[in-house]
């Protein structure tokens, strides 16, 4: 999964940096680049979430009595939530900076997972 992330994230970020707006296709080209970058962010955040969720205090406490299959199901739900929330809090500036620097990519993904994981764990475990 990490290899896939290492390949997809920089590619999508690079494509976003190359998105241009011209007179005829205008926003379509920019939106396509933005969509690719957002997908890369979502994939990266979900991959990071899978590795971080087992270290989360709320998750450890809330999932103790769950069966393994239910735990897997809820883990997928939590990480999907994290991916969705992460894409709503990313700015275009964050994407451009991350496209230029691998360290910035990792920092952005870490920041997004950190800020959304607890909220998503609580949200999913409440339901």
**Confidence grade of residue 31 (pLDDT, cut at 50, 70, 90):** low
Reply yes or no on whether the pLDDT at 22 is more than 50: no
To the nearest 5 percent, what fractions of the chain are helix, strand and coil?
85, 0, 15
How sure is the predictor about 3, in pLDDT bands with cuts at 50, 70 and 90? low
Q: What is the pTM (predicted TM-score) of this model?
A: 0.68
Tokens representing 62 are 């809330």
- pLDDT, tens digit (0-9, with 9 covering 90-100), for 48-89: 999 999 899 989 988 898 999 999 999 999 999 999 998 888
Rounded CA-CA distance 76/113 in Å is 14
Task: Give pLDDT, residue 78.
Answer: 94
Which residue from 3, 103, 7, 115 is spatially nearest to 56, judged by alpha carbons? 115
């Amino acid at each position: 999964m990490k290899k896939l992330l290492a390949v997809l994230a920089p590619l999508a970020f690079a494509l976003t940096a190359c998105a241009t707006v011209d007179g005829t296709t205008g926003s379509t080209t920019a939106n396509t680049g933005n969509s690719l970058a957002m997908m890369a962010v979502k994939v990266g955040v979900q991959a990071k979430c899978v590795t971080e969720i087992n270290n989360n205090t709320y998750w450890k406490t809330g999932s103790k009595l769950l069966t393994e299959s239910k735990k897997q199901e809820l883990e997928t739900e939590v990480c999907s939530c994290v991916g969705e929330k992460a894409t709503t809090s990313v700015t275009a500036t964050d994407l451009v900076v991350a496209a230029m620097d691998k360290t910035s990519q990792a920092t952005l993904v870490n920041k997004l997972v950190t800020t959304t994981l607890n909220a998503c764990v609580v949200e999913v475990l409440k339901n």
